[in-house]
Amino acid sequence: MVVSPDHQRKGLGEAILSRLVAHAKKHLTKHIILSARLHAIPLYEKLGFNKMGGVYTSPKTGIKHIKMKLVL
C-alpha cells in the first residue's frame, strides 16, 4: 500500500490497514505478511505487525523494505 505524499500523515494508511485486518479476521485468515518500506515500520508495528528477517532492496523499485507479519 502506498499513500500519496499529499495525503500522508492524515490517518489514511492506518484506516485502510485496520479495515484490512478486520476483514481478514472475519474471514478466518491466520496471518498477514507484507513488505514494508522502512519509514512505515512504526505504523505497522502500531497495528501489531512484527519484523521478519532483514532489510532487502526491492528489485522492481530499488526501495528498501522489510517483511512484516501479523498473526491474527
**Amino acid symbol at 57:** T
Cα Rg of the chain (Å, integer): 13
Q: Where are the domains of the chain?
A: 31-71
**Amino acid symbol at 23:** H
Question: Has residue 58 got a pLDDT over 90?
Answer: yes
- Model pTM above 0.75: yes
pLDDT digits over 3-28, tens only?
A: 888 888 898 989 999 999 999 999 99
Tell me which residue of 42, 37, 32, 31 sits closest to 66, measured CA to CA: 37
- Return the SS3 of 2: coil
